[in-house]
Structures are given as structure tokens and as C-alpha cells.
Amino acid sequence: MSDLELLFLVLVCLYGWECACWLRSGSVAFLTWFGYRWRAVFAGSVLGNRHGGFILAAPLPPLGRILTANEFPLSFSTEGALTGACSTIRHNFRPQQPNRFCRFDALQKVEVRGRKLLVNGELFLKAASPALAGSLANHLRDLAKTPVSQRAQAIDKIFRDIFDAKVVKKRWRDFQKQTWLIRWLVNALFLYLFIFVPVLIWNFGLKFWLSLLVELLALTTSIAILFHRAHKNFYPKSEDERLTHFLLILLSPVTSIRALDTLSRPLFETFHPLTVASVFCSPEQFRELAGRALRDLQFPVSSPSKDPAAQMAERDSRSSLRKALENLLKQNRLNPEELLRPPPPADESCRAYCPRCLAQFTHVKGTCPDCVDLALRAFPEPDSGRPRPQQHERSRDSTSP
């Protein structure tokens, strides 16, 4: 293998690393290749751990797009805030994090350092992103200033806002209008770097190396400048992050190719995954994800905290979250009662099911081991003269719905 071939192999490996994205637990990624068919992806257990896992963005032109959204990592009551999501759309998973409760009357100072949310100088929560940490800090400050009699309404508004699909649609339209040129340039850079340059060097050697370098710098510089403008418009407070990405895009061609991913990924980080799914995913996939979330709200696992105030925070947030979710379902013409219906028995031996994860069992009495000992429910008796419907048993949750 020649030095040029080795250099090209290293370039391909570096680009493959740029396509691998770390997805934290409690986050959901939305991927598309051609821009019209999106799918929700969860962090895998094969290339990951309890903190998250790797997912792969579309590596070839037209390069696709990637978005991320996060399950709300705090629970609120009129008395205080509790770390921990009150609901999840993955029935067999919940992010592992300490349960810390902070009373609003004891809240003096809220700070954000990267992903860390500090309350009164101590670590309160590690959010999935700096943007989410900043949003949560604002919620804590606002609720602490709100009179106790008005906090319930303020909490309801917080959950309504993270389910506001209209804002998601408008923000996406604005993003497409302001980044169309970047999309063309990053695809042009991919073709230039991995097709045009290798073919030219293979046939003519390095006699045109200076012009190739100038053209490469022109592409990366254009992408970096356009990236800086778009990033400043969509994320005006992320100055340090903007400068870091700008320099990396300017100096690294493989990073420049993924510049649009860097812009789009944090676009909806402060919204609930179901809100993003309702806008981008197919109706069937949205229905499946919404059913998981609704069953988790209807049949929650027992709270790990023994503090009555913390348990009240979970209950109150669950109630507010369910109201906001049912409003989103109504907008998408889905009936919550239909989503909570029992599944058809997989075969004649199945006599009960778990109302949360829909796993099926051959015995009626007992609990579901995957849902922290949630009691099983017997299948309703079929109508006389009608055989039970046949259906393959639902597979366990995977890295994608």
C-alpha cells in the first residue's frame, strides 16, 4: 500500500468516525437519508452502555439529516423539583440518575456549566446537552419566583410547551430556508474529496496539488462561514460552542462534510421526542411511540424515592405530562383509550399480559419482571362463537421502534 493509499484510508476512517454520533440515554434521534422518510432511533446496547450508545448518520450523499429530542429529565410539584423523568417511551428502560429533590423555597442560586445543572453550588443534574441544561435552569428560576398558588398552572405550561408541534414545524421551515446552501456545499465537498480528488490523483499524480488544495480550502471556508451565521441565528447564546465548531469545520474537511448535522442535531433538544415524532415520523411509528408513553403514564413503575415530597413531584408531573400528551394525540386524531387497549393474544396459551410493556404470559397471576413487578392483567374473554385473533408475539424493544 502506497503512502497516498494509506492517507486516503485514514481519511475514510476519520470520516466514518464523524458519522458516528453518541446518543445519551433518555434521548431519541430522528434520522433520514433523503429527507422525507424519518425514523426514530434509540441508543443501542451493542455499541454503548447505560449512559448511551453510538448511532450512525447517513454517510453517503445526499448525507441525510439528524435531529435529537430528549425526555424531560425533571419532575415538578408546587413544592419543588425532582431529578428523573416521570415517563419514558422505552418500556424496558429508564435513565439511571440519582434522585435529588430541591425545594423552591430553599433555591437560592441556579447555574449551568456545560451539561451540568448546579443548584446552590451543588450538582443537581447532568442534562443531555448544554441547551437542555440552560432550559431547565430557566424553568427552575421561573418556578421559584412564581407564587405557590400559580405554580401548578406554570408547570402545566412547561409541559404544554415541550409538546408544541407548531413551534417545531416553524423552526424546521426556518432551518431549511437558511441552510439550503450549506446542504449543497457539504455534498459537493464529499464528492470532491472522495471521488474527484482520488480520480485526479490516480490519473495525473500530484501535479495539480496546489490547485486542489486551494479549491478544498475554498469549500471548507465557505461552509465554515455559512455555518457560523446559521449557528448564531439558531443558537445565539452558544458562543464558545460556535467558535469550537467553526474552527474544526474550517480546518478539517471531514468535519466540514458533517456541518449540517452539527447544526440540525440540537434544533429540538428542548422538545419531547413525541412532539418531533408527530411532525417527522410516519403515523404508524408515531402511534407506536405514543402508545408506549401513554401506557407508561397510565401504569408507572414504583418510585425509587421514599420522600413524600419527591413522590408528589412525580405524580404531579405525570398528570401534567399526560394532559399535554393527550392534547397532542387529539391534534393527530388519536384516541388515548384505543392506545391503551390490550393486545391480541399471541396464541391460545397466552392468558395474561403486562399493561405497560405488553409482554404476554401463560399464567394469569403474577407480575411482570421487566416492569418492576407490575401486576399482570388477564385477557378479556372472547365473544362466544368467535375465535381469538392470532398474532405473532410482539418483539421486545430494540434500538429503533
Instruction: Note the pLDDT tens digit of each residue in 316-341.
Output: 999 999 999 999 999 999 999 999 99
**Alpha carbons 40 and 208: distance in angstroms, whole number:** 44
Examine residue 91 and state whether it is found in any structural domain, yes or no: yes
Percent of the chain residues past pLDDT 70, beyond the cut: 91
Collapsed DSSP state (helix, strand, coil) of residue 145: helix
Which pLDDT value is given to residue 46? Answer: 58
State which of 160, 195, 227 marks the end of a domain.
160
Examine residue 79 and state whether it is found in any structural domain, yes or no: yes
Q: How far is CA 178 from the centre of its chain?
A: 23
Examine residue 2 and state whether it is found in any structural domain, yes or no: no
- 361 Rama sector, left if φ>0, alpha if ψ -120 to 50, beta otherwise: beta
Residue type (1 letter), 93 = F
* Nearest C-alpha neighbor of 185 from the set 259, 250, 114: 259
The residue among 73 and 307 whose pLDDT is bigger is 73
Examine residue 286 and state whether it is found in any structural domain, yes or no: no
State which of 109, 142, 160 marks the end of a domain.
160
The residue among 381 and 73 whose pLDDT is bigger is 73
Residue 355: φ, ψ to 5°: -70, -10
CB 252 within 8 A of CB 54: no
The whole-number average pLDDT for the span 217-233 is: 97
The whole-number average pLDDT for the span 274-293 is: 95
Examine residue 309 and state whether it is found in any structural domain, yes or no: no
What's the mean pLDDT when you consider all of the chain? 88
Which pLDDT value is given to residue 87? Answer: 82
Which pLDDT value is given to residue 202? Answer: 86
Compute how many other C-beta atoms are within 10 angstroms of the C-beta atom of residue 15. Answer: 19
Examine residue 52 and state whether it is found in any structural domain, yes or no: no
Q: Which residues contact 348 (CB under 8 A, 6 or more apart)?
A: 388
Which pLDDT value is given to residue 391? Answer: 41
**Alpha carbons 239 and 32: distance in angstroms, whole number:** 28
CB 357 within 8 A of CB 314: no
pLDDT-derived band at 184 (thresholds 50, 70, 90) equals: very high
The whole-number average pLDDT for the span 256-267 is: 95
Handedness of CA 96, 99, 100, 104 (dihedral sign): positive
- C-alpha angle 250-252-254 in degrees, rounded to nearest 5: 125
Compute how many other C-beta atoms are within 10 angstroms of the C-beta atom of residue 158. Answer: 21
Instruction: Note the pLDDT tens digit of each residue in 118-128.
Output: 999 999 999 98
State which of 100, 130, 160 marks the end of a domain.
160
Which pLDDT value is given to residue 45? Answer: 55
Query: Which one-letter DSSP state was computed for residue 271?
Result: S
* Nearest C-alpha neighbor of 89 from the set 65, 75, 72: 72
Judged against a pLDDT cut of 70, whether residue 96 lies above it is answered with no
Strands 20-24 and 101-103, sheet pairing = unpaired
Judged against a pLDDT cut of 80, whether residue 215 lies above it is answered with yes
Examine residue 67 and state whether it is found in any structural domain, yes or no: no
Total domains, the chain:
2
Residue 53: φ, ψ to 5°: -165, 170
Instruction: Note the pLDDT tens digit of each residue in 231-247.
Output: 999 999 899 999 999 99
Query: Which one-letter DSSP state was computed for residue 192?
Result: I
* Nearest C-alpha neighbor of 60 from the set 177, 186, 175: 186
Q: Which domain holds residue 145?
A: 74-160
Examine residue 84 and state whether it is found in any structural domain, yes or no: yes
Which pLDDT value is given to residue 88? Answer: 84
pLDDT-derived band at 97 (thresholds 50, 70, 90) equals: low
CB 355 within 8 A of CB 298: yes
CB 261 within 8 A of CB 15: no
Judged against a pLDDT cut of 60, whether residue 115 lies above it is answered with yes
Instruction: Note the pLDDT tens digit of each residue in 52-72.
Output: 889 999 999 999 899 999 999
